[in-house]
Chain A
Amino acid sequence: MSYIIIILLLGIVFGFLMQKSDALAKINTSLLNVAIYGMLLLLGIGAGSNEKVIQNLDHIGSQAITITIGAIAGSIAMCWLLSKLIFKAK
């Protein structure tokens, strides 16, 4: 759990120190993409072979959309408030 945060911070510090290396930046982007593809593939396999998940797919989809609508509406409302209060001039 907190490993995630520690490892992330280590990565950020290391990346910051290596900022001059464009080669590393390139390699890192490719590696990261491959890692994400692999993890998403595993996540897909895990979800696809999990009967509970597949049987509830419509349910999962509607939950996802509901949360998205809530999150988008909430963030738009807060930014609208912000623009009324702070960015009045514009």
Chain B
Amino acid sequence: MRSQILMPVFFLIGLTLGLSGKLSSYTPPAEWTTYALYAMILLSGISIGIDKKSWEVFKNLNLKVLLVPVAIIIGSLGGAALTSFVLPSLKLREILAVGAGLGYYSLSSIVISELHGEALALVALLSNLSREIITIVLAPVMVTYFGKLSAIASGGATSMDTTLPVIIKFTGKDYAVISVVSGVILTIVVPFVVTFILTIGA
């Protein structure tokens, strides 16, 4: 939980340092960030593989439950795609890459900064961070009006950890399993989908 708070803090420290202009003469070689990204991706992969929880999820997988993360991906990308009508300055591919973060702001924004650039990475960071915050704040409203799955849908990849407490609180223990399964699957899928969207045909 502590790390969840520290992540935006580190970004803000960086932003302040960048804004102060004191670092203007310093630009790290581009390869450094690339290697750092690869190291991070490797560590992320290991954390997925080594996590017994994620494999338990696959062992006891129920087909109906599997449809939840599928619906969340399709819905998130479809809903994001619709916003391209009001965001003419962004390409559809860019909007989809941001939407494909599914709330996993740290990894998605870092991957996007490497593959596409800082401006879109910042959009991804803010967008996916706000997805997490909106879920935490509005979960009770969503559950009241759109049913119990709606809070899990809104949480996206975060429904396995940061938004899980609020989801359990407003949907009950029965939905906790669906929430974890969906969050685990979406967390695994995010780096693949974001990379795929930004590299295919580009």
Using a CB–CB cutoff of 8 Å, the interface residues on chain A facing chain B are 1-5, 7-19, 21, 24-25, 28-29, 31-33, 35-50, 52-54, 56, 59-61, 63-83, 86-87
B87: chain A residues within 8 A (beta carbon): 63, 66-67
Contact between chains at B36 and A64 (CB < 8 Å): no
* A16 nearest in chain B by CB position: B49
Counting chain B CB atoms within 10 Å of each CB, the highest count among A2, A52, A53, A54 belongs to A53
Q: Which of B29-54 contact A (CB under 8 A)?
A: 33, 36-52
Question: Which of B111, B153, B188 counts the most A-chain CB atoms under 10 A from its CB?
Answer: B153
Cβ A46 vs Cβ B79 within 8 A: no
- Chain A residues near B184 (CB, 8 Å)? none
Of B42, B109, B121, which is in contact with the most chain A CB atoms at under 10 Å from its CB? Answer: B42
What are 20 A-B interface contacts by the 8 Å CB criterion? A1-B199, A3-B38, A8-B41, A11-B43, A12-B46, A15-B51, A32-B44, A40-B7, A41-B13, A43-B109, A46-B18, A49-B24, A66-B86, A67-B87, A70-B79, A70-B83, A71-B79, A71-B102, A82-B67, A82-B149
Indicate whether B168 reaches chain A with its CB closer than 8 angstroms. Answer: no
Decide if B119 touches A76 in the complex (CB within 8 Å).
no
Contact partners of B107 in chain A: CB under 8 A:
36
Which A residues are in CB contact (< 8 Å) with B122?
43, 47, 53, 60, 64
Q: What residues make up the interface of B, taking CB atoms closer than 8 Å to A?
A: 3, 6-8, 10-21, 23-24, 28, 33, 36-52, 55, 64, 67-68, 71-83, 86-87, 89-90, 95, 98-99, 102, 106-107, 109-111, 113, 115, 118-119, 121-128, 130-131, 134-135, 142, 146-150, 152-154, 156, 188, 191-192, 195-196, 198-199
Give the distance to chain A from B88, nearest Cβ to Cβ, in Å: 11
User: Chain A contacts of B68 at CB under 8 A?
Assistant: 79, 82
Q: Which residues of A contact B51 (CB under 8 A)?
A: 15, 25
Q: Are A60 and B118 in contact (CB under 8 A)?
A: no
**Are A12 and B45 closer than 8 Å at their CB atoms?**
yes
Given contacts A68-B130, A72-B153, contact A42 B77 (CB under 8 A): no
